[in-house]
Amino acid sequence: MCGCIFKKAYGYTTGGGILMALQQITDIKHRLAETTKTVRQTKRAVLFSHVEAVPTMKPLQIYQSSGKSYKGERFYWENPEGNLTLCGMGVAAKLQPGADSVGRFSQVKDQWGALLSMASVNHCLGEMATGPILFGGFSFMEGETGPIGLWEDFGDYLFYLPRFLLTESANGTFLTSTKLITEDCDDCSIERFLEDREQLMSLSPAMVEEIPSFSHVEERDVEKWKEAIERSVEDIRTGLLDKVVLAREVSLHFEGKIPSGTILHNLTEQQPGSFIFGVESGESCFLGASPERLIKKEGKQIFSACLAGSIKRGDDARTDEQLGLELWNDEKNRSEHEFVVSMMRKAMEEQCIELDIPQEPILMKLANIQHLYTPVKGTSLPNSSILEFVELLHPTPALGGAPRKIAMEKISEYEQMERGFYSSPVGWMDMKGNGDFAVGIRSGLIKGGQASLFAGCGIVEGSVPESELTETKVKFKPMLNALGGLRI
Ligand SMILES: C=C(O[C@H]1C=CC=C(C(=O)O)[C@@H]1O)C(=O)O
Ligand SMILES: [Mg+2]
């Protein structure tokens, strides 16, 4: 039964607010008592989830101040439209690769389905991205991330169903508390549930932690990377492939631990119009400011993007406009872009009943870079899940290449590094198969005092190694600036 009696966010400080807060506690007690009874009777676990409107709490501040209790189990998300911010803390359930022989996308679908089949949710608020959601992502290439090494904390995929989820949207702020109630659970009492919720709601904003002093930079062999571009251009000329995206890694070392909350804070300030994301796992945090949407699903409505072709921003309006024009008219960049559009059109036609892809790109201007951008809109077939679109689209030729299979082989051969979650789908999905995934670019992995940054470029027939190297330097800028304005 739905025990929710209000629809709008409220302040607990008003008389009405206090009454409503008490009503929430009564609701939780009642629902949890019923759930516990059912679990005992049926001997089957229930995923208990409670959504409520709460007084304004800033997700980024809560991310920072919840570090003491939930470090290593937090995530952060801000969409480029600026109308949805999420902060997840703690783990109600974690999805990681199992021994199943089915592919990883099917594994996630099955594991999520199993969790939802035992869910009890007071979903009467009906707000986007509330209730049980999954947040996380996939690695770029299945089977690439080993149990040791840079990406050891992430694997082929990693998703959290958070213990606490703070959702900030145009309609207010919402808190979802979720817990798996099992028969032999030690900390499933009503008192404990309410205590944890109370502790979270009374978190006060933490000080922004300082980034420790920079020590040194470690770069993979740049000459080898340029040679890989030459070899790729040769492969393209001989007709082996049409396009391949080659990335490189730069590692920055600091004198102490890098605070992920501070980097996220800087990214939100410095990179408007981007997805700001962070996902912690143990001692690591993968984070960034990506301008690229892989897929968003809202009911039947589908949104995606073709983003490929780049040039720097100009120092003044006139130069900036000239650079934009140069990019828009440049044959090499247009061809980089066109491979993405044509793959997108073909893939989306399979899954959509209506599709709207403009004939020509427009410019997307970000703080440090401008791109050729073609927005994609569609209407999906009934009963589809966002996961099916993620599987279908990843990786587009903006991150992989064309044809996809050969490009992936060439990436493994030429890059000689683990991409991990870089250039991969990162985002969230809800109970109904709706959600939003970005492509994890302009990003890095923070682990202790080390930040490993990644940037790549679309290689086509007209690619020149030195210019592609310069392009990666522009793409490193968002993360370098967020780390304190470093230059490499
Ligand atoms: C692979 C990256 O960017 C892709 C997205 C936009 C433009 C790109 C380009 O012009 O090469 C890349 O395809 C990256 O930022 O690491
Ligand atoms: Mg490019």
Beta strands in 122-156 (DSSP E): 134-138
Q: Which atom number of ligand 1 is nearest to the Cα of residue 310?
A: 10
How many Å lie between the centroid of ligand 2 and the Cα of residue 272? 21
Q: Give per-residue pLDDT as tens, 35-71.
A: 999 999 999 999 999 999 999 899 999 999 999 999 9
308 alpha carbon – ligand 1 mean position (Å): 6
Same domain, 324 and 395: yes
Residue 60 lies in a domain: yes
Q: Check residue 148 and give its pLDDT.
A: 77
Question: Which secondary-structure segment (H or E) carries 60?
Answer: helix 59-65
Specify if 206 maps to a domain: no
Q: How many CB atoms lie within 10 A of CB 87?
A: 28
DSSP-derived pairing of the beta strands 119-121 and 46-54: parallel
Does residue 190 sit in the same domain as residue 282? no
**Whether pLDDT at 4 is above 60:** no
Pure H helices in 44-175: 59-65, 67-70, 104-116
Tell me: do 474 and 430 sit in the same domain.
yes
Residue 443 phi, psi (nearest 5)? -140, 175
The residues near 40 (Cβ < 8 Å, ≥ 6 apart) are 183
CA angle 231–407–234, rounded 5-degree value:
20
Instruction: Examine the fold and report which residue of 174, 201, 228 is the final residue of a domain before the chain moves on.
Output: 201
Q: φ and ψ at 433, to 5 degrees? A: 85, 15
Q: How far apart, in Å, are the Cα atoms of 391 and each of 138, 150, 439? A: 10, 24, 13
Domain assignment present for 43: yes
Contact 304/293 with Cβ under 8 angstroms? yes
For the chain, how many structural domains are there in total? 2
- Answer yes or no: is 83 within a domain: yes
Average pLDDT of the chain, as a whole number: 94
Residue 189: inside a domain, yes or no?
A: yes
Q: Which residue has the tokens 């080659």?
A: 246
In angstroms, what is the span from residue 326 Cα to ligand 2's centroid? 13
Encode pLDDT of 270-302 as tens digits. 999 999 999 999 999 999 999 999 999 999 999
- Tell me, yes or no, whether 179 lies in a domain: yes
Of residues 466, 137, 485, 435, the one with CA closest to residue 285: 137
| Ligand 1 near 352 CB (within 6 A) | no
* pLDDT, position 8: 37
Q: How far apart are CA 184 and CA 306, in angstroms?
A: 50
Please state, as a whole number, how many other Cβ atoms lie within 10 Å of the Cβ of residue 148: 7
**Lowest mean per-residue pLDDT among 9-13, 42-46, 179-183, 348-352:** 9-13
Q: Is 271 a pocket residue for ligand 1 (Cβ < 6 Å)?
A: no
| pLDDT, tens only, 221-278 | 999 999 999 999 999 999 999 999 999 999 999 999 999 999 999 999 999 999 999 9
Same-domain check for residues 249 and 335: yes
Residues 416 and 365 in one domain: yes
Domain stops at, among 141, 174, 201:
201
The verdict on the CB of residue 336 being under 6 Å from ligand 1 is: yes
* CATH code of 325's domain: 3.60.120.10
Is 474's pLDDT higher than 70? yes
Task: Name the closest-CA residue to atom 5, ligand 1.
Answer: 308
Instruction: Identify whether the C-beta of residue 85 lies closer than 8 Å to the C-beta of residue 77.
Output: yes
Contact indicator for 419, 455 with CB cutoff of 8 Å: no
Binding site membership of 458 for ligand 1 (Cβ less than 6 Å): yes
**Quick one: 14 exposed, middle or buried, by C-beta within 10 A (0-12, 13-18, 19+)?**
exposed
21 close to ligand 1 (CB < 6 Angstrom): no
Whether residue 210 is contained in a domain is answered as no
pTM of the full predicted structure? 0.96
Identity at 335, one-letter amino acid code: S
Q: Environment class of residue 371 by beta-carbon count within 10 Å: exposed (0-12), middle (13-18) or buried (19+)?
A: buried
Task: Please tell me whether residues 328 and 388 are part of one structural domain.
Answer: yes
Q: How far apart, in whole angstroms, are the C-alpha atoms of residue 119 and residue 253?
A: 44
Residues 267 and 399 in one domain: yes
Residues 396 and 445 in one domain: yes
Residue 50 placed within a domain: yes
Do 478 and 367 lie in one domain? The reply is yes
Contact 217, 251 (CB under 8 A): yes
| Closest ligand 1 atom number to CA of residue 454 | 16
Ligand 2 centroid distance, CA of 310 (Å): 5
Q: Give the residue whose CA is nearest to atom 7 of ligand 1.
A: 308
8 Å CB contact between 323 and 298: no
Identify the pLDDT of residue 488: 81
- Residue 276's pLDDT is 98
Which residue lies with its CA nearest to atom 2 of ligand 1?
Answer: 456
Residues 477 and 447 in one domain: yes
Nearest to 160 by CA among 330, 279, 14, 307: 279
Dist. CA 48–CA 35, nearest whole Å: 8
Nearest CA to ligand 1 atom 13: 398
Amino acid occupying residue 476: F
Q: What is the best residue among 364, 369, 475 to mutate for testing ligand 1's pocket, by most ligand atoms within 8 Å of CB?
A: 475
Note whether 126 and 248 are same-domain residues: no
The answer to whether residues 244 and 298 belong to one domain is yes
Nearest CA to ligand 1 atom 4: 398
Q: Which ligand is nearest to the CA of 400?
A: 1
What domain range includes position 471? 215-482
Q: Is the CB of 309 under 6 A from ligand 1?
A: yes
Task: Check residue 3 and give its pLDDT.
Answer: 39
Catalytic residue annotation? 243, 292
Nearest-angstrom CA–CA distance, 462 and 234: 11
Q: Which residues pair with 120 in a beta bridge?
A: 48
Dist. CA 416–CA 398, nearest whole Å: 19
Q: At residue 11, does pLDDT exceed 90?
A: no
Residue that is last in its domain, among 143, 177, 201: 201
Distance, in Å, from the CA atom of 356 to the CA atom of 117, rounded to the nearest integer, reads 35
